[in-house]
Structure 1
Amino acid sequence: MSWLNTPDPVAGDAASCDPVETIIVPRTSDLGGFSVRRALPSARRRMVGPFIFFDQMGPAELLVGGGIDVRPHPHIGLATVTYLFEGEMYHRDSLGTEIAITPGALNWMSAGKGIVHSERERAERRLEKRPLFGLQSWVALPKHLEEGAPAFQHFGADAQPEFSDKGASVKLIAGQLFGHKAPVQTASDMFYADISLEPGAKIPLDAGWEERGLYTVSGRISIAGQSFDPAQLLVFKAGDHLVVENNTPEAARFVVLGGEPMDGRRYIWWNFVSSSKERIEQAKEDWRRGRFDTVPGDAEEFIPLPDR
């Protein structure tokens, strides 16, 4: 008898024994020189725990002179979470933050009632070819923090908890998992981790979280006899005890993410997330009329409000 909100397997019904509730194949966009795969939001799934947006950037080799050049743009009601496997991005925001994001480090920018930031590259990096590979996600804020003060947190790669056992290696990006806790202050109960499995290795996925997802990064993994290739978001049924295995001769890498369900529905339009449609309309007008703060040192350009 199952003890969480998961139906018991039905004899003769293979689907009832399948722990994977949804498989999302991200849609791909070409941003000129590199591709972005977007897994959330999707028509099949809007959120996983507090995660409302999930992009894979690259892997790509950026050419001389080209690269990341995202002009200042606004956010409300969310925290941006940037994590790189390869390459570098340069973050500036309206709080006055200026910092390079490097592999294994974490940038956590909480927009609250409103923040503006840009994501570019330093001029010296554009002088040569270089890699870019990473993830950017948005975490929706609880209702009582949607109109809070904006804030920024950065933790270098050496500040992120890392642990390993029998060929399974984990770097905890945010939240809590396997008895460890990341240093970043999150707005809700959640987990987000970068996991690698050597050939023959396996690792369980905590059944205590109600909403759980896994995004395949490289290599092939198996769960309950099913194999999954890179660039897929798997969303699991609540309460099932899962084991992720690598039965191939090559290493595999994936991230796990999720947490408790949000405190109500969230609306998303462009870079704005809110529990209120009216608040999003206000944010549109504020950006159109220049009411957001500007980014020190990067105030001459901005991304206009989309015509949609």
Structure 2
Amino acid sequence: MTAISIEGKQRDLGDGFVVRRLLPNLKARHVGPFVFFDHFGPASFHEDAGLDIRPHPHIGLATVTWLFEGALRHRDSLGSLVDIHPGDVNWMTAGRGIVHSERTPPDERHHGQDIHGVQVWVALPKAHEEVEPEFHHHGKASLPTKDIDGGSLVVVVGDAYGERSPVKVFSPMFLVQARLRRGTRLPMPEEHAESGVYVIEGKVSLGGLTLGAKDMAVAFDGERPELSVDDDALVMLFGGEKLDGERHMWWNFVASSPELIERAKADWKVANHERFPKVPGDENERIPLPEH
């Protein structure tokens, strides 16, 4: 089966912090329910410096943060306050509306730190896109791991390879970290119609494509492709059930209709709107609604 190569683009989130954005893409607006995929770092902060993503809103999606290095402090308008470290999962269901910030924790900021990870957005099914917002943190020890011939897997979200993550999801999907040795062959999960691979380190092949670090390939309906490892590799595997219709995306908003986007834009313009209240402990800043 032939896979589709996805080329990422650099995006500056402010203060010189650059991410590599793979989804959405003209070749693949979404893979399963995954509508957004950012790879950030590796980056180093000097002493008393760090990442500061000010409070901003979301609707219609769930966010997943997965770190390889460093730490991030999550706060949201529900009152959640938690530091995420490598191997932990932060799953935030925006639903009808939530506001959150992500910043380098004070201790790491004082000493300086390296940061490296991925953040993905999952579109909620139409039946759930306006659910009440939720936030759940899952520690590293709670996630299922599996040793295979040639490497090891961590099932971060969803179900794959006979394992199921404890993270609450709203549709069939999978997000898996795989550390694989050269010569390993690993088929994509057969129970999911759409799948993709993103290479963090090493070199792999999928569906006739050779992929190095920071390369992505995706595959849709048809025979499940097999991943072959050309050099020791660290990869993220992801995908799931086909999304139940196209989504509109504007800034941090994802919705099945443009009317929901317009309503969210109008609500965010109103400081302390009922749907988008302030973030406890981070009340003094907010990212304004973009002009375009």
Q: Shorter-chain TM-score category?
A: over 0.9
Counterpart among 23, 26, 29 of residue 8 in structure 2:
26
Aligned to 1:6: none
Map of 1:260-279 to 2, 5 A cutoff? 260-279=241-260
Deviations 1:183-207 (A, max 9, x none): 0110111111000111222212123
Map of 1:144-163 to 2, 5 A cutoff? 144-163=127-146
| Residues in 2 aligned to 1:173 and 1:94: alpha-carbon distance in whole angstroms | 25
Matched to 1:228, the amino acid is: L
Larger radius of gyration: 1
Deviations 1:232-268 (A, max 9, x none): 22111423232212233xx201111111112111100
Secondary structure (helix, strand or coil) at the match of 2:230 reads: coil
Counterpart among 282, 296, 300 of residue 280 in structure 2:
296
| Residues in 1 aligned to 2:88 and 2:96: alpha-carbon distance in whole angstroms | 25
Could you state the TM-score of these two structures normalised by the residue count of structure 1? 0.90
Kept after mapping to 1: 8 A contact 2:172/2:192: no
| Residues in 2 aligned to 1:223 and 1:137: alpha-carbon distance in whole angstroms | 21
Aligned to 1:167: 150
Deviations 1:81-123 (A, max 9, x none): 1110111000000110000010011000001100000001122
Q: CA deviation at 1:24?
A: 0.8
Aligned to 1:258: 239
Deviations 1:253-284 (A, max 9, x none): 11111111121111000011100101110100
Counterpart among 185, 206, 217 of residue 202 in structure 1:
185
Matched to 1:266, the amino acid is: R
| Residues in 2 aligned to 1:119 and 1:214: alpha-carbon distance in whole angstroms | 26
Kept after mapping to 1: 8 A contact 2:185/2:227: yes
Map of 1:108-123 to 2, 5 A cutoff? 108-123=91-106
| Residues in 2 aligned to 1:245 and 1:276: alpha-carbon distance in whole angstroms | 40
| Residues in 1 aligned to 2:224 and 2:246: alpha-carbon distance in whole angstroms | 28
Could you state the TM-score of these two structures normalised by the residue count of structure 2? 0.95
Deviations 1:112-171 (A, max 9, x none): 100000001122211223111100010001111111100011101111100112222100
Kept after mapping to 1: 8 A contact 2:5/2:209: no
Q: CA deviation at 1:224?
A: 4.8
Secondary structure (helix, strand or coil) at the match of 2:66 reads: strand
Secondary structure (helix, strand or coil) at the match of 1:72 reads: strand
Secondary structure (helix, strand or coil) at the match of 1:174 reads: strand
Residues 215/296 of structure 1: CA separation in 2 closer, same or farther (3 Å cut): same
Q: CA deviation at 1:225?
A: 5.3
Kept after mapping to 1: 8 A contact 2:89/2:140: yes
